[in-house]
Structure 1
Amino acid sequence: MKRLLLFVFFVLLSLSPGIAGGEISPEVKLPDANRIYTLNSTPPSMLSKAGRGWALFARENADWTATFNSVTNNPHRAWGKGIQIPGLNSISNENARFASQRIMDYLSEVLNLDPTDLRLLQAERVLGKWYYSWTQMYKGIEVLNSYTVARATADGRVFMFGSDYHPGLAVSVTPSLGIQAAREFAKAGLEGDPGSMDVAGGTLYILPLEYEHFNQYRLVYNFVVTTDPDHSWNTYVDAHDGRILWRYNLVRYFTSPDSPERTSNTISGRITADIFKTSYIMPGQNVPMPDMYVWVDGKIAITDSDGRFSVDVGSKTSVQVKTLLAGPYVRAIRADSLAAGGNASITVTATVGNEVKINWDISNSLGAERMVAYHVTAIRNAVRTLDPSAVTKDLDKQIPALVNINQECNASWNGKRLNFFKASARCGNTGEIADVIYHEYGHAINTFMYRARGRQGLRNGALSEATADITSNMMTDDHRIGIGFMKPSSPPNFGIIRDSKNDLVYPFDLAGQIHNDGMILTGAVWDTRQNIGLEVTRRLAHFVKYGTPDATNTGEAFADYFIEFLVADDDDGDLSNGTPHSDGIIPAFTRHGIPGSGILISHNPLRDQDIVAAPIKVSGSARAGFSIKPNALKVSELELVWTLDNGKNWYRKQLPFTTSTRFDGDFPGFLAGSIVRYYIEAKDNYGTISRLPSHAPDETFMFLVGFKQMVFDAQEKPNGWKRNPDRDDEAQTGKWVRTVPVGTKGADGKWVQPNTDHTPGLDGQKCWVTGNAPEGTGLGENDVDEGATTLQTINYDLTSYSLPVIRYWRWYTNNAGASPNQDYWVVKISSDGGITWKDVENTKVTSAKWTAQVVVVKDVVVPTDKVALRFIASDYDPQSLVEAAVDDFEILDVDPLLSVDETEATPGIFALEQNFPNPFNPSTNIRFSIPRRSFVSLKIYNSLGTIVLHPVKEYRDAGTYDVFIDASTLPSGIYYYTLTDGSNTTTKTMVLMK
């Protein structure tokens, strides 16, 4: 045993923070956690078992719609008109289990699963509908995240189902690692003394690691490692090699005594309090305190909704009455109670026949004590009134609320109690802000409701924070969160930290921070509230939790929430015809990009072109990838967007459809020497925008027109490039080396260092990379550390080039460590052999893929015979994980054989086209052609004949041109635009409609 523990000790040292490459966060995400979620509505091939099952089902149920798991091909969620399950005419409490078997027997083929592998988790009736969920078992061990769900009407019609079942699962269930050793591995990477950590659990599970195109399966031990009151890490340890595969801060259950019974009355009284209905920055109010404990002569009573109580004291005429800021649902506790003389308490002498009046105010209690006592009780009563079923009975237990904690700017729910921090110079007392109290109580509701349905709590951080904010929004009917949280708290912001009235869209506004990402969903629900009203939205926002939407991937979690929101609203067991309020729900969610990419765009990026001054074909497809109601979601606009000057000016052109989904359009003719960056933008009928590439315009496709490759270096052979040319690099590891790269992956399954070079074909293997580590070692092994590492090219003679362009492919990551996005990737250019340098790249943005970068040399330096580039990757304190690579270095110049004279460049016509779009708001594009070099004037007049814009007034070569018009400063109306080239003049009309 000693030898085993010694071995574990050394392994823990190797896994703990402080290894080369910087500190590693205690949290370990699953591979799919940060992947951009795209709905897959394409059915699997008929040649597969899953495909055959769905095809047969869809043939008989044409009005059903589904999204599919891209790896298992199972329907992740499917919905439509309710299907009567054979032999099942009704579902009741008496036959609920029997019904679950009938449902699974019927759906097993379409879901490609074996019903005998399923264990029932949930079978309950909610708002007249039956909610079923199962989990997969493998040789007696539960498979995590493998839930199968179904929703059915009371008469036995299934109208929604889906499954993340893993068919063909095969994994060893005999652990190589003993439970005691695994228990020690579970502590790796956590702050604190391992000997003082509390480690509970040890259950074996099967954990699927879901990558974009494949799954892996691991046998794992599950432990809960508690390091302090606010950190209980739910940890999954590989049962074969001890690696931590998944870890997150866990919200846990708690228990407390039941409430005492109410009694009759003789001594009567009323308890009130001075509280803030909204926040300490608003005027206070005096209110009755319902559901508070009162001790009268040793007997306990509970105040009613008006704060009143009465107790029979028998023959006594005078007794002691004592009360605390505590009741059956909350107990306010001062974090500094000993120093402050204990928690707030009032004792008075009462006589029969005289009403006892007790008021909590600043003289006898803290503001935060009064606030949590009042507001926790208020939200508990609101939820139980909305949903009085036994399902929410856990809210009837007393929850401790700790106030005036000696920290600042936060609040929390740790699974046992609510925690609120004292005021500081930066932030208000969070126990004196009602919406913060409601938010934290929302976390408690999630804990109870998810655990009661067989889940391990709500795991997705963004969804958890969003639903807590939604709980607050629905309680206050206010879109703001944290009124008075930040100081100063003056108008118009009032110190808020989040706002559910927003325009955030998935995935464009994902920030990687769970509170901010959650606002995408809160925006959708708040817009729903605006569309269908508070009461209906409040009801749906609560009952959606019976469907336990959750996923490790945020996009998938939001999409599942959206479907369950509609399930909660459905009234006829048929989602294909919408729901009573779907006309208000669907636009609200779609506006925020939920459920995922509404419009799916497909396009093969264009390569470099040798077509000059002639249209360049652009083709692809665009379709609605998801819709609850047939044809409810459509492509309303599709545009090609491009720039010729690296984003200074953008041009747009509509892409026409040639079939229901295929588009075929073209770019205008470009002159030789053009560098075209472009993307495709689609807008659906709700106004939601989808782009390809998804992060456009920050990320675009790119091609060059009329260039010839003059130099190409695939980095396969020594080429004279120098590492550390000035001998002043500080980096201790991760130094540049030309070799075959050895890839490293993060916990999310994404490559941090590339596993292949960029050069296409079998001839390319090597590239420049910032150090290789032995295959299978950790991320921090031989990444860039403790400074910079520099790579410099040889000098290139560009004096004979007419328009020299340098293109290289590079890879850069700096976001995988505990201090992400702190370090710069820098590329510099010199025209004097390295004496002086100018930046061509200076960025902290990760691009964990091979990305082409283009440098137009004359835009930065004068092309000389001593042009060189430097590539610099660095990692300075705080240390993180930094990797970089460079490959396929090119120098190009305009091809003289593709340069055209004036007569060849155009069809030889003078033409002015209709602006597009038209009418427009506030911008449009005007295209014109001129047959020869001439002085060109393009003027725009208002209806009075006054020139309002003069966008072109210069000599231009023969060719076709697009001019971007920004009319944001002009009023609505009819305008005229006139083109003149000295010999010809023409005028057209356009309409600005704001």
Structure 2
Amino acid sequence: MRSRAAAVLVGSLVVTTSARAAGPRTGPVQADTLTALPAANVTRPLRAQRDLKWSQRASAAWQKLAATGAWRAAWDRATGVPSRIWGSGLAAPGAIAHPAVAERFARAVLADHIALLAPGASPADFALVSNSLDGDIRSIGFVQTHAGRVVVGGQISFRFKRDRLFVIGSEALPDVALPPPTRARLAPDAIRDRSAMALRGALGLGDAPVTPPGDEVVLPLVGDDAVLGYRVAVPVTIDGGARGRYLAYSDPATGEVLAVQQMNLFASGTVLYHAVDRNPMRPRVDRPAERAHVALDGVMQTTSTAGLVSWTDTDPHSVTTAVVGDLVSVVNKATGGAVASTQLSLAPGGQIVWDASGVVEDDAQVQAYLDVNTAKDFARQLDPTMATLDMQMAANVNIAQECNAFFDGKTLNFFHASDRCQNTALIQDVVFHEFGHSVHAAEIINGVGAFDGAMSEGAADFFAAQITGDPAMGRGFFYTDAPLRDLDPPSSEARWPQDIGEIHKTGLIFGGTFWDLRKALIAQLGEAAGIALTQKLYIGALRRSVSIPTSLIEVLATDDDDGDLSNGTPHECMIRNVYGRHGLRTASGTIVAPDRIADGSAATTVRIEISDLATRCAGDELDHVDLSWKPSDPGALAAGTMPAMQTAPTEFHAELPLAADTAVLYQAHVVFKDGSLLTLPDNLADPFYQLYDGQTIALYCVNFEGGDPLTAGWTTGASDGSASPWAWGIPTAGATDPHVAFSGQRALVQVLNGDYARKSSSFVKMPPVDIGHWSDVHLQYRRWLAVEDSHFDQARITVGGKPAWTNATQNMGDSSALQHIDREWRFHDVLVSGFQAGHSLDIAWDLTSDEGLQFGGWALDDVCVVANLNSVCGDGVVAVHEECDDGPGNGDRPNACRTFCQNPSCGDHIVDDGEDCDDGPAGDDLCTSNCKLVGPPSLGGCCSAERNPAGPCALGAAVLGLVLRRRRRPLL
């Protein structure tokens, strides 16, 4: 585990709960990633991973860049910003040799493409923070500001090779807007005091010290699929020692803590001396005390890297040694805190061995000293220029807790032994793993790469595995030889996104990918050359990646030899093949099929087109494509799966069976040679396309190109009486919105180029549709919907106020996270018969949100209401969507099959047997919604005060009786 002051994530080698970042919670905070507290006013989780989309509909801003060369992009799913852009590149003469030339070129590209790289920002919002040449790549990084404040995590970066700009990275935050201030800023001391009180309570850290607030920043609150908002904040740090260090962001006006993240990344491990080999269960070996501070007869010396000391005579001398040296200082956190030391006699040409294994607290100190030095030696092989290598690192051992270890951005920390777990300083793998976090932190290029907790866990596991040569990490942790984690399990691979979980589990995707890459490169190039290239690619990934998916592009960029990724790299195929086996590739797909068929066919052809494969390489080799289907109406068609026929290298087709007068649901599974999958459509909440088979007649259709529908019979509104957000226009932007209409130019959109509001409810309704005597009526339209799990936000289609369709839920209560995110215009067929009495239908779309996560909402195009020609009410045949049909006997009278072929029911304005009255679905003040009379109101005390039976009370009762009698069912 690790942590650093600028960007910190938390993990532990042994976990029992998910490490996913959460929204506001009660009880002690365990913040693996940035975690919002109640003052942030969000209730949905902040994202734990930067997820990427490998394809997105081209916008005008993208087309402007695409016109300059062969470019590709991977898009941040939450911000809609291109996280990585790569391709043929732009010529930048002199950029490698001259930093100023590269900076001017980068600034010019930033200014020309600011709408793509940082929507809503200006070039002046970005400040240069790095201009670094390492090997043959020059990296330039800019950090984002807004109104003079740094935007936390906001950055844009440019990579040059061979005088070409060939990779661009953007972690910019789009459309930064801050809530207006409502009160004056507090004094710094007041902010610290209030923050300290809140943090100590929330984190259970008692009197832990809290730093004064830093400069104001803009804090983005980013969810899995959207930016939830921006806040002005000041950073403060609370240091609980072994209990954890936390970076918090506080409101400068109130001192309330908006969000917090732990600066410790926990892991588990062991450290040894006379020395342990992996763990204490194995035979020990003797290792040199490297660069240790010793006293030779009281005179201080420092040993060489081979452990040598020297003196001028030939006599034996007394050597006193402890666990402090040039590069490592071990601190004993056990009771009493005694530093381990020994005094031995050393003869000229002889050897002395310090065996501390008899006292576990001393042993832990000695092993920590040795293994941190070993880790530093290996890190020096990876990057001899690493800035922190020659600094002394503190290692705290024998901490009075169990089964853990962590790096807090400054020190390594190891826990004492227990009945369950070994002293983690005695497990070499654990010490190497923790030091691996410090390597990741030191290698990140400011404004170019960024820290990602899951990637860091995988990188730290791989760091340890490179030293030991064993992908099974953490042997001996639980007093057995079984590993804690395995980067190379015998029968499976960790794959993205199937194996995303807590950060150590997710990290296995990165760690396993690099172990497999190491094996493949050794097999192809030989051990020395294969390991050397693996290490080069590993350091490149650490320096410039912001997530596990982005590491694919950064590894290719590091491997590249001419500044042009469009023509491949020397080892592109091997890299893509290995990444692909772990589910990381750039492929996407398209389904080509009709949405409606009216010719009575028993089947129709569905074409599956796969794009963006690495055509030069076998790593993206397609194995087969399966087409699966199921009926929308039970019994209409048997569900099934069939292999699609390959008609071209990236094209397949299959015959989809149809069922008359209903919709068939279908999906395609693209299976690669390595067993990984690409599923179409890409929407976990609605994973099937629809195809309607049947002859229909159009009752109402509109494509929104002839004028604003809201001035032509459509109506809209908001539940709170405010202005409705629904608008007719040209969609062009938005992280989860369409960037073009489905047909023509215009669509009807809930919030044009933006997200729906929190705690809101709005609707749009069609003009009433006369359905005549048709009894099987469908709404058929194109939809682009982005909405949270319906446990929180409900997107509905209603007919007569009754829901005909609602977005899906995961049914896990407040843990539900089945967001409905369309990534294309989807054809949607919805049965609208049977919901509303009569011959006219009122069809509407609405969306109600809670206070948490928001998305783009509804976007509608090509709306039609159609009727099945084979289902007519009044023909005496009860069709599938009719409740009854008595032919000429149908009638809108008591107890009769209605003229719209529904059975008598309360709410249809006709009083039937068993009903006292019927004033429609909602009832009124005299007839309830379940068709019962409302009792007469109290007449007060007037009758008791009025002796005349013909007085006002009798008159009131008589009038009421007339009203009630008028609403009672007829006698005949």
- TM-score interval, normalised by the smaller of the two chains: 0.5 to 0.7
Q: Distance in 2 between matches of 1:569 and 1:626?
A: 19
Match of 1:615 among 602, 617, 639: 602
**Is 1:520 equivalent to 2:527 in the alignment?**
no
1:921-960 alpha-carbon deviations (Å, 9 max, x no partner):
xxxxxxxxxxxxxxxxxxxxxxxxxxxxxxxxxxxxxxxx
Match of 1:576 among 562, 566, 576: 566
Match of 1:162 among 153, 162, 169: 169
Q: Distance in 1 between matches of 2:181 and 2:606?
A: 53
8 A Cα contact 1:578 1:628, kept in partner: no
Unaligned runs of 5+ in 1: 1-16, 253-271, 551-556, 708-738, 743-747, 765-778, 784-805, 821-844, 852-880, 882-893, 900-994
Relative to structure 1, is the Cα distance of residues 89 and 25 closer, same or farther in structure 2, using a 3 angstrom cutoff? closer
Task: Please tell me the residue identity of whatever aligns with 2:460.
Answer: A
Relative to structure 1, is the Cα distance of residues 762 and 588 closer, same or farther in structure 2, using a 3 angstrom cutoff? farther
Q: 1:395, CA displacement in angstroms? A: 2.0
Match of 2:455 among 460, 463, 472: 463
Match of 1:77 among 64, 81, 84: 84
Q: 1:442, CA displacement in angstroms? A: 0.6
Relative to structure 1, is the Cα distance of residues 846 and 388 closer, same or farther in structure 2, using a 3 angstrom cutoff? closer
Q: Distance in 2 between matches of 1:229 and 1:456?
A: 31
Match of 2:478 in 1: 486
Describe how 1:405-420 pairs up with structure 2 within 5 A: 405-420=399-414
8 A Cα contact 2:264 2:406, kept in partner: no
Match of 1:404 in 2: 398
**Is 1:346 equivalent to 2:326 in the alignment?**
no
Match of 2:213 in 1: 201
Match of 1:336 among 334, 337, 351: 334
Match of 1:110 in 2: 113
Describe how 1:222-371 pairs up with structure 2 within 5 A: 222-238=235-251, 245-250=258-263, 273-312=273-312, 320-336=318-334, 338=336, 342-349=338-345, 353=348, 355=350, 357-363=352-358, 366-371=362-367
Q: Distance in 1 between matches of 2:111 and 2:326?
A: 46
Task: Please tell me the residue identity of whatever aligns with 1:327.
Answer: G
8 A Cα contact 1:135 1:147, kept in partner: yes
Q: 1:569, CA displacement in angstroms? A: 2.0
8 A Cα contact 2:247 2:263, kept in partner: yes
Match of 1:641 among 605, 628, 644: 628
Q: Distance in 2 between matches of 1:481 and 1:849?
A: 38
Mark the structure with the bigger radius of gyration.
Answer: 2
Match of 2:531 in 1: 535
Task: Please tell me the residue identity of whatever aligns with 2:555.
Answer: F
Q: 1:447, CA displacement in angstroms? A: 2.5
Match of 1:141 in 2: 149
Q: Distance in 1 between matches of 2:202 and 2:593?
A: 46
1:678-713 alpha-carbon deviations (Å, 9 max, x no partner):
5321124654311245587x9854989999xxxxxx
Q: Distance in 1 between matches of 2:580 and 2:598?
A: 41
**Is 1:566 equivalent to 2:574 in the alignment?**
no
Q: Distance in 2 between matches of 1:753 and 1:89?
A: 47
Task: Please tell me the residue identity of whatever aligns with 1:443.
Answer: H
Q: Distance in 1 between matches of 2:150 and 2:817?
A: 37
Relative to structure 1, is the Cα distance of residues 406 and 166 closer, same or farther in structure 2, using a 3 angstrom cutoff? closer
Q: 1:559, CA displacement in angstroms? A: 2.0
**Is 1:438 equivalent to 2:422 in the alignment?**
no
8 A Cα contact 2:73 2:82, kept in partner: yes
Q: Distance in 2 between matches of 1:136 and 1:486?
A: 46
SS of aligned partner of 2:668:
strand
Task: Please tell me the residue identity of whatever aligns with 2:282.
Answer: M
How does the TM-score come out when normalised to structure 1? 0.59
SS of aligned partner of 1:233:
strand
1:512-564 alpha-carbon deviations (Å, 9 max, x no partner):
x11111111112111111211251354135422563322xxxxxx11222222
Match of 2:389 in 1: 395
8 A Cα contact 1:642 1:676, kept in partner: yes
Describe how 1:834-849 pairs up with structure 2 within 5 A: 847=818
SS of aligned partner of 1:142:
strand
SS of aligned partner of 1:506:
coil
Match of 1:53 among 51, 64, 67: 64
Match of 2:896 in 1: none
8 A Cα contact 2:273 2:287, kept in partner: yes
Task: Please tell me the residue identity of whatever aligns with 1:44.
Answer: A
Relative to structure 1, is the Cα distance of residues 381 and 243 closer, same or farther in structure 2, using a 3 angstrom cutoff? same
Relative to structure 1, is the Cα distance of residues 51 and 19 closer, same or farther in structure 2, using a 3 angstrom cutoff? closer
Match of 2:668 in 1: 680
8 A Cα contact 2:75 2:84, kept in partner: yes
Q: Distance in 2 between matches of 1:441 and 1:19?
A: 32
Structure with greater proportional strand content? 1
Q: 1:476, CA displacement in angstroms? A: 1.8
Q: 1:241, CA displacement in angstroms? A: 7.3
How does the TM-score come out when normalised to structure 2? 0.61
Task: Please tell me the residue identity of whatever aligns with 1:467.
Answer: A
Q: 1:387, CA displacement in angstroms? A: 1.8
Describe how 1:8-19 pairs up with structure 2 within 5 A: none
8 A Cα contact 1:619 1:662, kept in partner: no
Match of 2:914 in 1: none
Task: Please tell me the residue identity of whatever aligns with 2:68.
Answer: F
8 A Cα contact 1:599 1:682, kept in partner: no
Task: Please tell me the residue identity of whatever aligns with 2:554.
Answer: E
Relative to structure 1, is the Cα distance of residues 71 and 111 closer, same or farther in structure 2, using a 3 angstrom cutoff? farther
Q: Distance in 1 between matches of 2:174 and 2:720?
A: 37
Task: Please tell me the residue identity of whatever aligns with 1:362.
Answer: S
8 A Cα contact 1:571 1:580, kept in partner: yes
8 A Cα contact 1:337 1:343, kept in partner: no
**Is 1:472 equivalent to 2:464 in the alignment?**
yes
Match of 2:642 among 637, 642, 653: 653
8 A Cα contact 1:577 1:629, kept in partner: no
Match of 1:386 in 2: 382
Relative to structure 1, is the Cα distance of residues 141 and 125 closer, same or farther in structure 2, using a 3 angstrom cutoff? same
Relative to structure 1, is the Cα distance of residues 601 and 195 closer, same or farther in structure 2, using a 3 angstrom cutoff? farther
Q: Distance in 2 between matches of 1:414 and 1:480?
A: 25
1:652-680 alpha-carbon deviations (Å, 9 max, x no partner):
223457899887644335699x9977532
Q: 1:601, CA displacement in angstroms? A: 5.0
8 A Cα contact 1:506 1:592, kept in partner: yes
Task: Please tell me the residue identity of whatever aligns with 1:590.
Answer: G
1:119-158 alpha-carbon deviations (Å, 9 max, x no partner):
12221221222122111233322223321111113x5322
**Is 1:41 equivalent to 2:33 in the alignment?**
no
